[in-house]
Amino acid sequence: MIEVLRRTPLLSQLTEAQLQRVAVHAHERRLAEGEWLFAQGDAATRFYLVEAGQIRLFRLSADGAEKVIEIVSPGQTFAEALMFMQEPHYPVSAAALAPTTLIAIDASDFAFMLRESVDTCFVVLGALSRRLRALIGEIDDLTLHTARSRVARYLLSQCPADRRAFNLEIPKSVLASRLSIKPETFSRVIRQLTSEDLISMHGGHVTVRDRDALDRAADWHGELPRSDAFCPQSLRFR
């Protein structure tokens, strides 16, 4: 467990003694596909690190409609910001998109450890600040851009400039919810981009055929393309 913790960006600057302390108060949790980890409103006593699989963070409306907030992949943590709140409760629900292994970390002990080390506290706050900046950029993406632009930005975020192809590994309905568009709209945009020869798709395998044209479809308007657009993960259609 120590090596897994050490490779995690949020925990990478902890001392060996601090990592040992985190491990002592942590435990591994395994979820089957579709199994819930926690529900919106549950007491937030732990935060989590994904070792394998994927976690879907989502909210449910009064009529049962689901909005996917984030997809969390291996090496990523979630719910850690809640440790700074008094009597925190999870603001979202969490469920496994695939068979998933997590490390559950005791939030109260971790917060107590931060009080003992100002340097460690600043490392954690820096990581949370970077995530907040990415989320602010995402709000811009979701509110100021068309469905076509959002899908193009997402595809570009999955395919660095030195690559032409990648796999998408979650259901289209989940990804559409993540981008705040309807599944049928997502499918229509994919068909448009394919017919215009900007991309090709075979099953879950996507090839970017014309990156310049896809950049134009992303409608950056002078913005620099961001690697954090829509919190890029390694995803595949199912």
Specify the pLDDT at position 151. 92
Query: Tens digits of per-residue pLDDT, 61-101?
Result: 777 788 898 899 999 999 998 988 888 999 999 999 999 99
- What is the widest separation between alpha-carbon atoms in the chain? 58
Domain ranges of the chain: 1-124, 144-219
The reported pLDDT for the residue numbered 223 is 53
36-38 sheet: strands from edge to edge:
36-38, 93-96, 55-60, 66-72
How far is the C-alpha of 39 from the C-alpha of 95, rounded, in Å?
9
Please, what CATH class does the domain formed by 144-219 belong to? Answer: mainly alpha
The half-sphere exposure of 178 on its side-chain side, counting CA atoms within 13 A, is: 22
Over 70: is that where the pLDDT of 238 sits? no
pLDDT exceeds cutoff 60 at 236: no
SS3 category, 114: helix
Note the pLDDT tens digit of each residue in 123-143.
888 888 887 887 777 777 777
CATH top class, domain 1-124:
mainly beta
Interval 159-218: pLDDT, tens: 878 888 888 877 888 889 888 888 899 999 999 999 999 999 888 889 999 999 999 998
DSSP string over 135-156: HHHHHHHHHHS-HHHHHHHHHH
Distance CA 17, CA 6 (A): 12
The Cα-based distances of 55 to 18, 71, 194 in angstroms read 26, 6, 29
Query: Residue 129 in 3-state DSSP?
Result: helix
Confidence of residue 237 (pLDDT cuts 50, 70, 90): very low
Direct distance between the N- and C-terminal alpha carbons of the chain, in angstroms, rounded to an integer: 31
Please tell me if the domain spanning 1-124 has the same topology as the one spanning 144-219: no
Please give the model's pTM, rounded to 2 decimal places.
0.73
CA distances for 82 relative to 156, 224, 231, angstroms: 31, 31, 19
- Answer whether residue 150 shows pLDDT above 50: yes
**What pLDDT, on a 0 to 100 scale, did the predictor assign at position 67?**
87
